[in-house]
Amino acid sequence: MPEEKTADQRPPSPLSLRRRDLLGSLAAVGAIGSVARAASAKASTSAAWDFIVVGAGVFGAWTAWNLQRRGNRVLLLDAWGPAHNRASSGGETRLIRTEYAGNELYTRWAWSSLAEWQDLSRRHELPIFHPTGALYIYPADGAKIDESVALQRSLGIPIEKLTRAQMATRWPQIDFDGIAVGVLQPTMGALMARRSVQNLVSDFVAAGGTYHELAVDPPRSDGGSLRTISGGGETLNAGRFVFACGPWLPKLFPEVVGGRIVPTRQDVFFFAPDAGDTRFQAPAMPAWVDVSSKDLHYGFPDIEARGFKIALDAHGPKYDPDVADRRVSDQSLADVRAYLARRFPALAKRPLAEGRVCQYENSDNGHLLIDRHPQWSNCWVVGGGSGHGFKHGPAVGRYVADLVLGSGRAEPDFTLAAHKVHG
C-alpha cells in the first residue's frame, strides 16, 4: 500500500490547488453551497443528464465521482448538503478495518477502498485518513479468528495476532480483563467522515461534475422507466437515476425499500482526556473494537483534539432521521461510563466533550442493499450501510458505476430479493 504522508510531506496536486482556488482551504461547506447555487440554473434548464445521483452521502458522492470520471454528465443532488449534520456520513470519524469475520468480499472492498481514501487524502490539505491502526479484542481464541487472519494475510494485508500479555505490555492504558487475544491491523485507522465526503464532492465539481442542492420528491412513473424527478418547483430529466439516500430511502421508496432498511438511533460520545495525557492519542492508542460482549463497544483515540470517541454498536430504537430527538440519553451516557470504568479506567470520570446522535440504516442481514428498481429499469437504489458502510464508499462507487453502465455483475447478497422486510 502507498505510504500515508503527513500534511507537511504531501506534494500539492493539481486538484488540490484548483480546489483551494475554487473553495478556499477551510470553507468547504459554504463554498460547495455557492458552486451548487451557480449550477442551479444549469440544472433546471438543461436537457437530459446522463445520470442524476440523489444523495451526497458517502455512497452517492463516490458513485457520482466514478460516473463522472468515466465521461458521463452527472448531476449530484442533496437536500441539505454533502455529509450534513443529520446524514449517516456526517459524523467526525469512521473506522476502516479489514477484519470482517472471514467475509471475503467486504475484506477485499475495505482493503481496496483504503488506497482510494489515501489518494483522496493526498489531494487535500487536511488529512482524510489517520493510520491509527485498528485493534479487535476477543474474549476467547478460536478457528473463526484464525480464518479471518489467514484471509487477510492471503490478500497481503499486514496483520498481527497478539496475546493478552503482549497487548497489556503495549497498551497499559487498556484493562484487558476478560480478553484472551487481539488482532491488530496496523495500516487501518480512522477516516474523517464529513471532511472526506465534502472534499470528494469538491473534487467532483472541480473535475466538471455538477452539484445542486435540492430536496427531491418521492419519484413517480407509470411506465417501465423513470423519465423525470422533481422537487422545489424544478423538474429534472436524465437517462438514468441513482438514489443513494441512506436512512431516507424508505421514505422515498416506501413500497420497494420500506421495511428493508430500518434506521436506528445510535448515541456517540467524545470524552476529554486530561491535559498532557497522550496515552489516548495515536500513536499510543489505536482505534479499537471490543468483541467481548454481544453489544460490541468500539472507539477511536483522541483525533484532532475532538476527544476519545466511544459508542455501542448495538442497534438502538427505530429512528426517524427528519424529526427524532438528537440529544444523547442519560442512560446511554451512564452505560458508556460504566464500560469506561472497566476497560479505560483513567477516562471513566473525565468530562464529556461532545455527544452526538446519528442513525444506522440497517438491512435485516447487515448487507448493503444495491439493486435496480423492480419497475423502473433506469433507476437504482443504493444504501443499507448498516453501521459499517462508510469505509466501502470507494468500492461501492465503482461497483454501482459498473452496474449501471452494464459492465458489472450483481452481487446476490445486495439485491432486494436477498433483503427481508424487518423491524
Ligand X SMILES: Cc1cc2nc3c(=O)[nH]c(=O)nc-3n(C[C@H](O)[C@H](O)[C@H](O)COP(=O)(O)OP(=O)(O)OC[C@H]3O[C@@H](n4cnc5c(N)ncnc54)[C@H](O)[C@@H]3O)c2cc1C
What is the C-alpha separation between 74 and 211, in angstroms, rounded? 9
Residue 286 as a binder of ligand X (CB under 6 A): the answer is no
Residue 391 as a binder of ligand X (CB under 6 A): the answer is yes
Across 178-201, b (16+ Cβ under 10 Å) vs e yields: ebebbbbbebbbbbbbbbbbbbbb
Residue 131 as a binder of ligand X (CB under 6 A): the answer is no
Q: How many CB atoms lie within 10 A of CB 324?
A: 14
Identity at 408, one-letter amino acid code: G
Q: What is the DSSP-derived secondary structure letter of residue 138?
A: E
Q: Which is nearer to ligand X, 49 or 248 (CB)?
A: 248
What is the C-alpha separation between 49 and 66, in angstroms, rounded? 15
Question: In the bound complex, what is the minimum distance in angstroms from residue 300's beta carbon to ligand X?
Answer: 8
Among the candidate windows 18-26, 130-138, 171-179, 245-253, which touches ligand X by CB under 6 A? 245-253
Helix-helix angle 58-69:393-404, to 10 degrees: 50
The cell numbers describing 332, all together, are 446511554
Residue 245 as a binder of ligand X (CB under 6 A): the answer is yes
Question: In the bound complex, what is the minimum distance in angstroms from residue 172's beta carbon to ligand X?
Answer: 25
Backbone angles phi, psi at 30, to 5 degrees: -60, -40
Half-sphere exposure of 75 (CA within 13 A, CB side): 29
Q: Which is nearer to ligand X, 182 or 387 (CB)?
A: 387
Residue 381 as a binder of ligand X (CB under 6 A): the answer is no
Residue 359 as a binder of ligand X (CB under 6 A): the answer is yes
How many residues in the shown chain lie near ligand X by CB under 6 A?
39
Residue 398 as a binder of ligand X (CB under 6 A): the answer is no
Q: How many CB atoms lie within 10 A of CB 169?
A: 10
Residue 65 as a binder of ligand X (CB under 6 A): the answer is no
Identity at 43, one-letter amino acid code: A
- Pick from 390, 395, 400, 403 the residue near ligand X by CB under 6 A: 390
What is the C-alpha separation between 392 and 318, in angstroms, rounded? 24
Residue 252 as a binder of ligand X (CB under 6 A): the answer is yes
The cell numbers describing 140, all together, are 476467547
Q: Is residue 181 within 8 Å of residue 141, measured between CB atoms? A: yes
Report the C-alpha dihedral over residues 97, 302, 390, 250, rounded to 10 degrees: 130
Q: Kindly write out the interface string for residues 193-232 of this chain, putting x where it contacts ligand X by CB under 6 A and - elsewhere.
A: ----------------------xx----------------
- Pick from 131, 182, 219, 247 the residue near ligand X by CB under 6 A: 247
Q: What is the Cα gyration radius of the chain?
A: 21
Q: Which is nearer to ligand X, 56 or 282 (CB)?
A: 56
- Which region holds residue 162: left if phi is over 0, alpha if psi is between -120 and 50, else beta? beta
Residue 80 as a binder of ligand X (CB under 6 A): the answer is yes
Among the candidate windows 16-24, 133-141, 170-178, 381-389, which touches ligand X by CB under 6 A? 381-389
What is the C-alpha separation between 179 and 296, in angstroms, rounded? 13
- Pick from 51, 65, 67, 78 the residue near ligand X by CB under 6 A: 78
Among the candidate windows 67-75, 334-342, 357-365, 397-405, which touches ligand X by CB under 6 A? 357-365
Q: Which is nearer to ligand X, 176 or 319 (CB)?
A: 319
Question: In the bound complex, what is the minimum distance in angstroms from residue 37's beta carbon to ligand X?
Answer: 16
Among the candidate windows 7-15, 370-378, 384-392, 413-421, which touches ligand X by CB under 6 A? 384-392
Residue 270 as a binder of ligand X (CB under 6 A): the answer is no
Residue 360 as a binder of ligand X (CB under 6 A): the answer is yes
* DSSP element (H, E) containing 395: helix 393-404
Residue 32 as a binder of ligand X (CB under 6 A): the answer is no
Residues 83-122 that bind ligand X (CB under 6 A): 84, 87-89, 91, 94-95
Backbone angles phi, psi at 330, to 5 degrees: -60, -35
Question: In the bound complex, what is the minimum distance in angstroms from residue 121's beta carbon to ligand X?
Answer: 16
Across 257-288, b (16+ Cβ under 10 Å) vs e yields: beebbbbbbbbbbbbbbeeebebbbbebbbbb
Among the candidate windows 53-61, 140-148, 168-176, 301-309, which touches ligand X by CB under 6 A? 53-61
Q: Which is nearer to ligand X, 180 or 296 (CB)?
A: 296
Residues near ligand X (CB under 6 A) are: 54-60, 77-80, 84, 87-89, 91, 94-95, 215-216, 244-248, 252, 266, 268, 311, 358-360, 383, 385, 387-391
